[in-house]
Amino acid sequence: MRFLLLFSRQGKLRLQKWFTPIPEREKKKITRDMTTMVLARKPRSCNFLHWKDLKIVYKRYASLYFCCGLDAEENELLALEMLHRYVELLDKYFGNVCELDIIFNFEKAYFILDEFLLGGEVQETSKLVVARSVEASDMLQEKQRLMEIILLFPLFFSCYHGGIHEQACILTTGGNGSTHTRRNLNDYRPGSLTTVQNHGVMSSRMMCLNLCPEAGRKCF
Amino acid sequence: MSDVVEKTLSALPSLLSLDTQAGAGKLSPSSKLGNLIKGITELTSKHEEEKLIKKELESIKEQVASPNTTMRQMKEIMVRAIYCEMLGYQASFSYIHAIKLAQQGSVLEKRVGYLAVSLFLNETDEFLLLLVNTVLKDLQSTNLIEVCMALTVVSQMFPKDMIPAILPVVEEKLTHPKEIIRRKAVLALYKFYLIAPNQVQHIHSKFRKALCDKDPGVMTASLHIYLQLIKENPESYKDLTGSMVTILRQVVGGKLPLDFNYHSVPAPWLQIQLLRILAYLGKEDQGTSEMMYDVLEESLRRAEMNHNITYAILFECVKTIYTVHPKSQLLEKAAECIGNFVLSPKINLKYLGLKALTYVVQQDANLALPHQMTIIECLDHSDVIIKRETLELLFRITNAQNVTVIVEKMLEFLRLTCDDYSTIDLVGKVAELAEKYAPDNVWFIQTMNSVFSLGGDVMQPDIPNNFLRLLAEGVDNVEDRQLRLFAVDSYVSLLQGETAKLPQRFLQVISWVLGEYSYLREEESDPGSVMRLLARLLDQRHTSTETRSWVLGAMTKLCSSPVSVALARDVCERYSGSLNTVLRQKAQELMILSQDTKLRARVLPAESRLESLEVDSSLSFLDGYVSEALAAGAAPYKSPHQRQEDLVQEKALSLEPYGLSLPVSLSSCSITDRLSPTLLSMSSGLSGNSTELSHQEGSTTLKLEGVKRVWGKDGYLAQQQSACETPTPLVELPSPLLSPQTPPSQTQKPSSGLEPDQEKRQLASSLFVGLGSHNSVCLMGRVETAPRHFRRKPRGESSSGASEGSSDSSHSSRSAAVDNLLLSNLLDSTTVASEGGAASTTTPQQTSQRTLDHTTSNGNPLVEGTEQRVEAGGPLSLIRGNGMVAVVPPTHTQTDPQTQQDLHPAPALERRRDLSLTSHLPAELSGLARSEFTPLCSDQDSSLALSACRVYKEDALVLLVFISNNNDSALHQMALQLTCKELEISCISGSPLKEVKGHSVSVCLHTVVMKRASVQVELAGLLSYQRPLGQPQAAQFSLSLSLKHFLRPLTVSTGDYGKMWLSFSHDLKQNLRLVTTEHQEPLTATLDALKGKLHLHVVDIIGSEGIVACRLLQGPGQGQPCLLHCRVHADSLAVWLRSPVPELPDSLLYHCQKALTET
């Protein structure tokens, strides 16, 4: 594969990956041509196009177009499925992925892509494995954050550990030293308030941080 | 506390999934990226966005420059910079910080750093060099994630030159215990293979190991490499067929872990990869193909689920089945499969079905027959892409009977499309079909007219060229006259209409044809009419300058009648003042020729325009001029190709401006002469010692070389029958509904008697006529039965014979100095040189079909111009096969005079030997500075002589050992050993030397670099060989090499010099003798003397001080610098040397002393 582009219905580029060295000017031209060509396509028409000597395979997912350029001998249908697998991976990582997820976390989208494709070739097709290797790197980030919290609130942490269910964990700290925790990770919803029942010393109403305004969340 | 940490860490995975859900956390207003993005979405105009981004970039710039920014902040900043770049704004100031982040950040920051680097930089970017060290460090890290990141970035983009630096480490990773690392390493090597195949040549055995890896993922990755390798050279990997088949069988059989399934299809990516490999392996190889029939059949059978991915596999399977040696049973199944594609309601599958059909009809056009109706439907599909693909398919099944319908369809499509690329492609196809299958003159000209007006100025230039050649080439018989006359008539009527819309190319074609052939119609119309039309064309504003010069050229040919002459005078007056020199030139020509009828008749004879022209492609008539110019000190001519090569070689150190290239405007001025424009290709192929000026002059005498077209699209073209053959009458169009010849499958279609259906049927019948084995015109015979009067006419042998003759004669006239005995040998060597593609001979990049002819016929005059002498008459071919002897291509020998100047007055004998050895210098080295030939040793009866020569290459010293065998018998089992512990010697002449035939010379090439600087080293050599019927013998020799052979100038700026000076630790001071000459400053003279003798680079001379730099060769891409600071002190030169290595100043000083005492 030569390149992969993600762009919105308005033609805004959301992600670009070039697998072969292409001069900057040419990249701009390809991007421009791709957006105009693909956006001009009617719905329900063929997903394959030609551009110079390249095959172009594109697919629209909600408001986002995924578009890739292939060499002449590559298999178009397979590329289509590859795009689909990438969407599945994004979906697994972000959980019901939407365009905003990719806009705001485009670097994550790049990391996932890097685990999935290497040098233009599919390196790992298993959803699980890709997710695992992306998470392995993410894990480090969390470890770092957690260590900071532990150092900040040693006292709280010990009670917390004694009292609360093992699954619970700290999300982040507020300005005045109050700690927001959340209990069951699976029923987390952004913006919701969760009261955590404690058996130990701490017993207070805890709040989950509003991490994602509901309004901005459009789902596929 | 520690247990707390541990407990918490155990909760990490869940925390992670939380974080991923909260991934949009960056949306929080506090995040700067969030702010930026929000800011942008709120904006309404592009202008405002620009302003905002500018502000943002300013603040980023400020922050990255601040020393207080932590790496953590830097990571966040980098993400914003990436975002700005993605929006199309340059953030180049952040590139260096991205590299820094990758270098210094912790794992996570590193990851962002690497990401930014891979997005910002290109493979050629110099910044990447800064990354090499970081990558190397990370590759060796114990942290798996770091290794992964490094491998990812390496396979993403890596400078080609730096691959050797990290290759060993990546190679090492092939045995890493973690499969993910192994897999990434394999893919990285794959990437290396793609950008620099030579550098990974030595690890092919490791690829095999990767193929046999116990982890399927690693094996899959290695298949990428194998696909590439097998594609390039299937023969050497036939032994892998068995393994590939086994793997595929296992995959298809579902033996892989479930992890590899994709929508419950086992490893589709792997399957397709394997199928593609099998296709390459089995192509045109029955034995290999037989091994894979079973597994192909199984693949076809298993892929039955109705999902895109299974169709992808099926498609690949069909392609493989049709690529490998055919097996009828499989072909049937595959054809059935194609049917499923074509008939599918899914548009993507339909598209692929058409594609598959296009592929298979090349083997069996009948396969298209069952799908006629679908094809017709697709022809009117609303999706252009489908239409386009259908035309592609029709193009493949075109024959003499359906050509009109198919071409009509293609032109219809062309009228609607606005995509340049498909226009170019399709126009070319129409032109090809028209030329090949045209039923009659009128149709042909009309079709070509549409081609020219639709193809406009984007089409390939060889379409008009071929067309004009076709018009020009015919023998003057009735039919050709008709064709020309019809063309002229149609153009006249075109020009009488609106010409504003006609493309320039078309106008050029029109004016050429009118200029050439208007006389054919003149009896019936008034003589000035064509002239007036052309003049009108000149007046129009949209006519380009190039077209105008074509028009003027045409007018020059036409101005015979008084009316025309008057018109011509008008035109001349207007254009003789033109700012464009070409137009002015043309106008002058027109002026003079229109007034001087005699001259015109001589320069532009009306009849027999092609036959009598002769070309002296070596431009021998200019030899006198050239030798005068050379004597006056002009540089010898180098072909553009050679100039380019020189530039490449000198790239690192060249300070000269780029050489002149051929003036482009030439093409437009020579093009309108009374010659077919195709001749242009010849005029660009000039070489030899002609200068650029001669190019212009020579172009008027170029001659059309007879080129036979032997191979066509359908294979070997039989000799043209008599040219007056009447067009084969069209085979009566069988109406499918009545005729028994209708393919049976057609009746299977729903035959509701609706009218549109009827129409389609008719279309089908006209489209598919000529297909089907039971048809009157059978497929296989198609090539022969097609009326072929439009195929390019082969020029008779007469013209090529004439050229042979002319070159022979020019040879004899100019070859006084050359032994006739040597002629055959020289000829031989020319062909050798041109076959080997060593350098441009006469025709650089013309169509290969033509070149061979030209080189053999035109090549010899060039050879004769040189002083080349081949010592012995023995055939060279055998040694050449060994890759040992490279014959100097004739164009290179111009360096001879220079090298000869270097020679001291030598005895004639030695001179001759040198000359003879010169001819054995490999082409790539012949342009470089070299030493004279030093005899090494020879045995008693001088049947074997060894000589050596040093060639000073930019990055190494190349030592050539010439083994001249003066005996009749060949030398066998040759082995040459060079040993010296201070030197690093590597053989570069490819395959080891085995034997030298009698009376021939072969060359061994070695690159030599010094391990440690020393004044002089002694190189010991041993050549062992065996004569037939003799004992093994050995010849010993020794050769001393001095430090100065390994010195090269080091081009640095004064500023860099200063920096380097401070960083070097080893220094030495000494006073040296000053050289005094009459017309130079003592300092300059001394430094010049040093520069000349020791290859130093004089960086700067300021007053009484001079700074000089050089480097000592040390392996590829390496070198030890040495800097000299010289100052005139009283009447001696105080020299201060500095270098990072202790030995270098010592030895260099010795040589400086020696060099100065010698002068």
Higher per-residue confidence, A135 vs B697: A135
B26 to chain A: closest CA residue: A104
Distance CA A158, CA B1020 (A): 79
Identity of residue B871: E
Which of A31-40, B756-765, B928-937 is predicted with the least confidence, judged by mean pLDDT? Answer: B756-765
Q: Does A219 touch chain B (CB under 8 A)?
A: no
Would you state the torsion angle of the CA atoms of residues B1030, B1032, B1035, B1036, taken in this order, to the nearest 10 degrees?
-160
Residue A70, pLDDT above cutoff 70: yes
* B963 beta partners: B946, B1002
Distance CA B151, CA A18 (A): 17
Cβ pair B82:A107 closer than 8 A: yes
Contacts of A160 in chain B (CB under 8 A): none
Nearest CB to B352; choose among A44, A76, A138? A76
Q: How far is CA B181 from CA A210, B25, B134, B184, B192, in A?
A: 39, 31, 18, 5, 16
Tell me how close the Cα of A102 comes to any Cα of chain B, in angstroms.
9
Residue B588, pLDDT above cutoff 80: yes
Does residue B973 sit in helix, strand or coil? strand
Distance CA B20, CA B22 (A): 5
Cβ pair B7:A166 closer than 8 A: yes
Indicate which of A81, A117, A144, A161 best probes the interface with B, i.e. most B CBs within 10 Å of its own CB: A81
Find the mean pLDDT for residues A185-191: 38
Which of the four pLDDT bands, split at 50, 70 and 90, describes residue A79?
very high
Distance CA B428, CA B411 (A): 11
- Quote the crossing angle between the two packed helices B441-455 and B462-473, to the nearest 10°: 160
Indicate which of B16, B163, B190 best probes the interface with A, i.e. most A CBs within 10 Å of its own CB: B16
How crowded is residue B395: how many other Cβ atoms within 10 Å of its Cβ? Answer: 20
* 8 Å CB contact between B302 and B333: no
pLDDT of amino acid B247: 92
Q: Does A172 touch chain B (CB under 8 A)?
A: no
User: Which residues numbered 1-40 in B keep a CB inside 8 Å of some CB on A?
Assistant: 1, 4-5, 7-9, 11-28, 33-34, 37
Q: Does A217 touch chain B (CB under 8 A)?
A: yes
Distance CA B1069, CA B1058 (A): 17
Find the mean pLDDT for residues B529-552: 84
Which of A83-92, B543-552, B740-749 is predicted with the least confidence, judged by mean pLDDT? Answer: B740-749
Higher per-residue confidence, B460 vs B689: B460
Q: Which two tokens stand for residue B678?
A: 């195709």
Closest CA to A171 of A155, A190, A199: A190
Contacts of B25 in chain A (CB under 8 A): 211-212
Indicate which of B9, B20, B125 best probes the interface with A, i.e. most A CBs within 10 Å of its own CB: B20
**pLDDT above 90 coverage of chain B, percent:** 5
In chain A, how long is the greatest CA-to-CA distance? 70
Which of A146-155, B666-675, B1033-1042 is predicted with the least confidence, judged by mean pLDDT? Answer: B666-675
Contacts of A81 in chain B (CB under 8 A): 262, 268, 308-309, 312
Cβ pair B25:A157 closer than 8 A: no
Cβ pair A47:B115 closer than 8 A: no
Handedness of CA B575, B579, B580, B585 (dihedral sign): positive
* 8 Å CB contact between A146 and B8: yes
Indicate which of B3, B17, B120 best probes the interface with A, i.e. most A CBs within 10 Å of its own CB: B17
Contacts of B182 in chain A (CB under 8 A): none
| Secondary structure letter of residue B1075 according to DSSP | P
* A118 beta partners: A121
Q: How far is CA B757 from CA B339, B379, B638, B763, B1051, in A?
A: 21, 14, 67, 10, 79
Nearest CB to A100; choose among B24, B115, B312? B24
Cβ pair A139:B386 closer than 8 A: no
Q: How far is CA A50 from CA A15, A38, B231, B459, in A?
A: 21, 11, 24, 18
Residue B424, pLDDT above cutoff 90: no
pLDDT of amino acid A3: 93
Beta strand pairing status for B711-712 and B265-266? unpaired
Which of the four pLDDT bands, split at 50, 70 and 90, describes residue B611?
low
- Residues 6 or more apart whose CB falls under 8 angstroms from that of B601 comprise none
Would you state the torsion angle of the CA atoms of residues B909, B914, B915, B920, taken in this order, to the nearest 10 degrees?
140
Closest CA to B428 of B397, B407, B400: B407
Which of B106-110, B227-231, B691-695, B1138-1142 is predicted with the least confidence, judged by mean pLDDT? Answer: B691-695
Cβ pair A75:B316 closer than 8 A: yes
B1080-1097 per-position pLDDT tens digit:
788 888 888 888 888 888
H-assigned helices in B545-679: 545-558, 562-575, 581-595, 597-603, 623-631, 640-650, 665-670
- Quote the crossing angle between the two packed helices B286-302 and B268-282, to the nearest 10°: 150
Cβ pair A104:B34 closer than 8 A: yes
Look up tokens 């506090």; give the residue: B30
* 8 Å CB contact between B948 and B936: yes
Structure ipTM: 0.71
* Average per-residue pLDDT for chain B: 73
Distance CA B200, CA A12 (A): 40
Closest CA to B1132 of B1052, B1088, B1063, B1070: B1070
Q: Which two tokens stand for residue B861?
A: 């005059």
* B950 beta partners: B959
- Please give the interface size between A and B, counted as residue pairs whose CB atoms are below 8 Å apart: 222
B199-254 per-position pLDDT tens digit:
887 888 888 888 888 888 899 999 999 999 999 888 888 998 999 999 999 999 88
B928-979 per-position pLDDT tens digit:
777 778 887 777 666 778 888 888 887 778 888 888 887 777 777 777 888 8
Contacts of A211 in chain B (CB under 8 A): 22, 24-25, 27-28
Q: Does A42 touch chain B (CB under 8 A)?
A: yes
Does residue B803 sit in helix, strand or coil? helix
B376-389 per-position pLDDT tens digit:
888 888 888 888 88
Which of B382-386, B740-744, B1006-1010 is predicted with the least confidence, judged by mean pLDDT? Answer: B740-744
Does residue B945 sit in helix, strand or coil? strand
Beta strand pairing status for B972-979 and B934-938? unpaired
Closest CA to A79 of B315, B223, B350, B341: B315
Find the mean pLDDT for residues B616-620: 73
Identity of residue B947: S
How crowded is residue B656: how many other Cβ atoms within 10 Å of its Cβ? Answer: 8
B177-213 per-position pLDDT tens digit:
888 899 999 999 998 888 888 888 788 888 888 888 8
Cβ pair A212:B27 closer than 8 A: yes
Does residue B477 sit in helix, strand or coil? coil
* 8 Å CB contact between A112 and A134: yes
Would you state the torsion angle of the CA atoms of residues B125, B126, B127, B129, taken in this order, to the nearest 10 degrees?
120
B1019-1070 per-position pLDDT tens digit:
888 888 887 777 778 788 888 888 888 888 888 888 888 888 878 877 777 7
Distance CA B201, CA B377 (A): 51
Cβ pair A150:B22 closer than 8 A: no
Nearest CB to A45; choose among B22, B123, B347? B347
Cβ pair A146:B9 closer than 8 A: yes
Phi and psi for B801 in degrees, rounded to 5?
Answer: -65, -40
A137 to chain B: closest CA residue: B145
Which of the four pLDDT bands, split at 50, 70 and 90, describes residue B523?
low
Report the phi/psi class of residue B254: left, alpha or beta, with left for phi > 0 and alpha for psi in -120 to 50. left
With residue A76 as reference, give the H or E element that holds it: helix A76-94
Distance CA A161, CA A44 (A): 56
Tell me how close the Cα of A198 comes to any Cα of chain B, in angstroms.
18
Residue B821, pLDDT above cutoff 80: no
Q: Does B155 touch chain A (CB under 8 A)?
A: yes
Tell me how close the Cα of B34 comes to any Cα of chain A, in angstroms.
7
Q: Give the count of alpha carbons within 13 A of B719, CB side only.
A: 4
Nearest CB to B383; choose among A46, A119, A135? A46
